Structure 1
Amino acid sequence: MPQLSRLAVASLASLCCAAPTLAGPADWPAKPVTLVVPFPAGGGNDVVARLISAAMSTALGQSLVIDNRPGAGGTIGAGFVAKAPPDGYTLLLCSTGNLVVATALYPRLSYGIKDLVPVSHIVNTPTIWVAAPQIPANSLKEFINLAKREPGKYNFASGGNGTTPHLAGVAMKMRNNLDMQHVPYKGSTPAYTDLTAGRVSLMMDSVISALPFVESGRVKGLAIGTAKRLPQLPAVPTLAEQGLGELSFTGWVGICAPNGTPAQVVSKVSQSVKVILAQPEVRDAFSRQIAEPVGDGPTKFAETIQRDALTWRKIVTASHAEMD
């Protein structure tokens, strides 16, 4: 997601006056609560944290302090929180990448899913499949049929080995028995350079990153992983329309806590997020970032994590993509 303007953040901060203080354990929180964001400031995950921080501070009755600890695809910050005292004062902004993909991909990771407790599913972040403008296909289904007819002619790009787009491309290739080569790049920017020039054929990416390229016609939008077509991209069909819903790989962002965190604390944080996401201004702000507010609590969030963990473990195993 793009960096949010100071004006937008300031306007959202005013919501703290409307967010009620929720009941919870009498002795928590007695001091500021730290939310570790395992990515750089200004990035998509950081924006999610800052969109809820002011109102959440009021709901909790203590400041919510954002602590950016980037590195290694979000695993450094996640590992830090997994080993933090389970007292509710250190929380993690967890995501698909640093929780389910990383734990499937790196067998020697310092933490596992069991080391973190699901607290709140904040938003979903949809993805899109895009192609070089020269490709004679206007949907992902057409592209798959094209690749079947001409094995070995087409390839797919990603921002690096082991990334979600890489593994999504492997899943598409395997599920459709396609002969396609993976072309990894050091980030999505150089990948788009070659995609727009037609040197690579296809890539999956987040909608927010791909949007300007699709809107300008520099790449083709073949399939969107949302329930309905986006108003910004009305000509791009959904994966469900094409019978390819299993290739949506929608990402998510939420809050997790160290295993052993008291249930009352988990409940209070979860309810705080739910109250905040009910605010129209917050929902509108997320919608502008092309992120879908969710607000599911620990039980449903745990189901989402376990479902995605199984999906990504199968993909990683099938692709032989495990890394040290």
Structure 2
Amino acid sequence: MIRSLLAAVVASAVSLSSAAAYPDRPVILVNPYAAGGPADVVARSLARALEKRLGQPVVVENKPGGGASIGTGFVARAKPDGYTLLLGTSAGHVVTPLMQKTVYDGVNGFAFCSVVAEQPIMLVVNPARGIRTVSELIARANAEPGKLSYGSAGVGGATHLGAELFQHAAHVQFNHIPYAGASPAINDVVGGQTDLAMLNLSASLPFIRQGRLLALAYASDKRSPLLPDVPTLAEAGVQGADAATWYSLAAPAGTPAAIVRTLSDTVRAVNEDPDYRRVMQEQAIALMALSPQDAQAYVVKDQADMRRLLGTLGLLAK
């Protein structure tokens, strides 16, 4: 009994000592999407801002694929010491595990340090298709059922579910072409391999400004200040199809609470960094800094919401 108590005390002391010294070496931040997309922008901007305050390098590693399950699963299996972190999304944590069997628990397999940002998505189309408005898109889809195709950043993400919501609300049907991230998806819309997409504004904005993509509508309750002439989906006549991507900072379950709190507090401090704030504002990304408890509750609520949505769309795993 005494030996057990002593062992517990020693283990606790070691854990506290490790947490107090954290971090004393480089930290890996896994982005479960391809390089060049909006998640990559968030991951690299967040990494640069974190390392200023943590005093150690924060290295971004891209592990795309599987509806974000490859990178998410990698972090779930990592040592819970705060040195392997995840830029998480609803796709990896919630939707993919609801749609198919995964080797990890997307909610209980993680210690959520914070929810750091949110970004609505934009409905865009290749200009060569001759579609100029949402009503014209719906008319074309009804006239040529099953012919139009849309690209997404992967199965289960906001860019996929946003398009599914749009189809459900507008009573149309497109062919879904999933990619391992927003960057390859948008490249194929620009190149004409696919017709349209609902992607994060940060991914599509440069191509919209260049005239290589046409923005039809914004999937939010208000217009984007970056494209004030583009209507919301509701303004364009499609109700109930708003969609956004959220990003979390998550560690493997079992990570010491002191380390989780350190990371959460650091995210809050990062949000005051003017360079970081400017980059996020330029990408139409809304900053957040939820506490570990609030972040956990946020993800649990999203899981319940997505379970209902996927059930409605017939996408829940059998």
Question: TM-score normalised to the size of structure 2?
Answer: 0.76
Determine the C-alpha separation between the residues in 2 that align with 1:273 and 1:254: 10
How many Å separate the matches in 2 of 1:244 and 1:296? 31
Deviation readout 1:264-291 (Å, 9 max, x if unpaired):
2222211111111112222012112332
Q: 2:274 aligns with which of 280, 283, 290?
A: 280
Q: Which moved more, 1:262-271 or 1:179-188?
A: 179-188
Between stretches 161-170 and 145-154, larger displacement belongs to 145-154
Residues of 1 paired with 2:99 and 2:142: CA distance?
Answer: 32
In structure 2, runs of 5+ residues without a counterpart are 1-16
Alignment of 1:84-99 (within 5 A): 84-99=78-93
Task: Indicate conservation of the 8 Å contact 2:126/2:213, yes or no.
Answer: yes
Indicate whether 1:193 and 2:187 are aligned: no
Identity rate, percent:
26
- Alpha carbons of 1:26 and 1:246: their partners in 2 closer, same or farther (altered >3 Å)? same
Cα shift at 1:93: 1.7
When residues 285 and 160 of structure 1 are mapped into structure 2, their CA distance, relative to the original with a 3 A threshold, is closer
| TM-score between both structures, scaled by the size of structure 1 | 0.75
The equivalent position to 1:174 in structure 2, one of 165, 168, 177, is 168
Secondary structure of the residue that 2:293 maps to in structure 1? helix
The corresponding residue for 1:108 is: 102
* Aligned ranges 1:23-62 → 2 under 5 Å: 27-29=20-22, 31-32=24-25, 34-38=27-31, 39-60=33-54, 62=55
Assess, with a 3 A threshold, how the Cα gap between structure 1 residues 223 and 37 changes in structure 2: closer, same or farther. Answer: same
In the TM superposition, residue 161 of structure 1 has moved relative to its aligned partner by 6.9
**Pairwise CA RMSD:** 3.4
CA distance in 2, matches of 1:258, 1:280: 30
1:42-67 Cα deviation digits (max 9, x unpaired): 5433332332334423433x414325
Partner SS, residue 22 of structure 2: coil
> What's the CA shift for 1:180?
1.8
Change (3 A) 1:219 1:235: same
Deviation at 1:127? 0.8
1:76 to 2:74 alignment: no
Contact 1:166 / 1:182 at 8 angstroms: preserved in 2? no
Aligned residue runs from structure 1 range 131-280, under 5 A: 131-133=125-127, 134=129, 138=133, 140=134, 142=135, 146=139, 152=145, 155-159=148-152, 162=155, 164=157, 165-176=159-170, 178-184=171-177, 187-188=184-185, 189-194=187-192, 200=195, 202-226=196-220, 228-239=222-233, 241=235, 246-280=240-274
Taking the aligned partners of 1:217 and 1:52, their CA distance within structure 2 comes to 30
Distance 1:222 1:303, change over 3 A: farther
- Paired residues in the alignment total 293
